[in-house]
């Protein structure tokens, strides 16, 4: 698998054309059996990212009211301990998630057309999905999130940082997880249905360039650096949005 973080910088190029939904789904159908191992359990880079995400997610979700939580694009269920429901476009990813979380309702659907009723959830978390989508699709997914969230509910999502992308150069050709954004661009795509609550940076240190044994010990430093103005330079931006109540 191509790791966009392992590529050397090269001159700035705009985002590549939006990937086809079917191509992304096929990619994950094919990767499903190896996803956890390749991306997380056997990768010190993945373990590092998983820990950073959990700290940031816990902070963001602490503000949500108790109630149903959807993991949108739940994949193999890595983060389903934080959610009551899951959804993913890839049946093969869901097969793994169902084996892991047999008691949770997990549905196969596209993130822009979910089967849930209006105002079903107090929170939606959505990790590592937007990078796979073109901008118009991201806008449709955000609209769908607004529909299924209760007023005041939280949407917590992440995307690669556009600022870091400008400094480092684009990911390798052929990698379809190539959409990078700034929080301002995300808000422009979200329309008036959401307000921005907070932005957290994830992975400021160039972890892929550090020896594996040094990565986890440096994690607290990464968290510390990401609390200040350097957050925008981190690899990923984790953004917390609040669904506006009517008229707010």
Ligand X SMILES: C[S@@+](CC[C@H](N)C(=O)[O-])C[C@H]1O[C@@H](n2cnc3c(N)ncnc32)[C@H](O)[C@@H]1O
Chain residues binding ligand X by CB under 6 A are: 21, 24-25, 28, 73-75, 78-79, 88-90, 93, 110-111, 127-129, 132
Which lies closer to ligand X via its Cβ, residue 27 or residue 247?
Answer: 27
Q: Contact 196/156 with Cβ under 8 angstroms?
A: no
Task: Select 113 or 192, whichever has its Cβ closest to ligand X.
Answer: 113
User: Using alpha carbons only, what angle is made at residue 203 by residues 57 and 13, rounded to the nearest 5 degrees?
Assistant: 115
> Is residue 247 left, alpha or beta, with left meaning phi > 0 and alpha meaning psi from -120 to 50?
left
Q: Are strands 194-202 and 236-243 parallel, antiparallel or unpaired?
A: antiparallel
Looking at the Cβ atoms of 111 and 219, the one nearer to ligand X is: 111
Shortest spacing between CB 150 and ligand X, in angstroms: 21
Beta bridge partners of 69: 123
CA distance 140 to 125: 16
Q: Which is nearer to ligand X, 54 or 244 (CB)?
A: 54
Q: How far apart are CA 91 and CA 96, in angstroms?
A: 9
- C-alpha closest to that of 140 among 177, 176, 183, 190: 190
Nearer Cβ to ligand X, position 52 or 73?
73
> C-beta of 208: minimal distance to ligand X in Å?
17
Smallest gap from Cβ 95 to ligand X, in A, equals 11
Tokens of 237: 């931006």
Cα–Cα distance measured from residue 4 to residue 217, given in angstroms and rounded to the nearest whole number = 23
CB closer to ligand X, 73 vs 203 = 73
Query: Measured from the CB of residue 94, what is the shortest distance to ligand X in angstroms?
Result: 8
Shortest Cβ 92–ligand X spacing (Å): 8
Q: How far is the CB of 203 from ligand X (least distance, A)?
A: 14
Q: Cβ-closest residue to ligand X?
A: 75
65: DSSP letter: P
């Amino acid at each position: 698998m191509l790791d966009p973080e392992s590529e050397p910088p090269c001159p700035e190029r705009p985002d590549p054309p939006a990937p086809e939904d079917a191509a992304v789904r096929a990619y994950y159908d094919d990767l499903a059996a190896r996803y956890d191992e390749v991306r997380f359990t056997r990768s010190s880079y993945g373990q590092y990212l998983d820990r950073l995400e959990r700290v940031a997610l816990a902070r963001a979700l602490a503000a949500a009211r108790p109630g149903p939580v959807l993991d949108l694009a739940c994949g193999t269920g890595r983060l389903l301990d934080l959610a009551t429901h899951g959804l993913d476009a890839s049946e093969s990813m869901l097969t793994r998630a169902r084996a892991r979380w047999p008691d949770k309702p997990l549905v196969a659907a596209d993130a822009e057309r979910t089967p849930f009723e209006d105002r079903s959830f107090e929170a939606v978390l959505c990790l590592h999905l937007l990078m796979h989508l073109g901008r118009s699709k991201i806008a449709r997914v955000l609209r769908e999130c607004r529909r299924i969230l209760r007023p005041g509910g939280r949407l917590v999502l992440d995307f690669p940082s556009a600022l870091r992308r400008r400094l480092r150069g684009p990911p390798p050709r052929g990698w379809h997880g190539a959409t990078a954004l700034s929080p301002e661009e995300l808000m422009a795509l979200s329309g008036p249905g959401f307000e921005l609550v907070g932005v957290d940076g994830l992975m400021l240190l160039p972890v892929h360039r550090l020896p594996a044994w040094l990565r986890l010990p440096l994690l607290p430093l990464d968290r510390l650096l990401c609390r200040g103005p350097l957050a925008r330079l981190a690899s990923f931006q984790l953004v917390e949005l609040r669904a506006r109540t009517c008229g707010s």
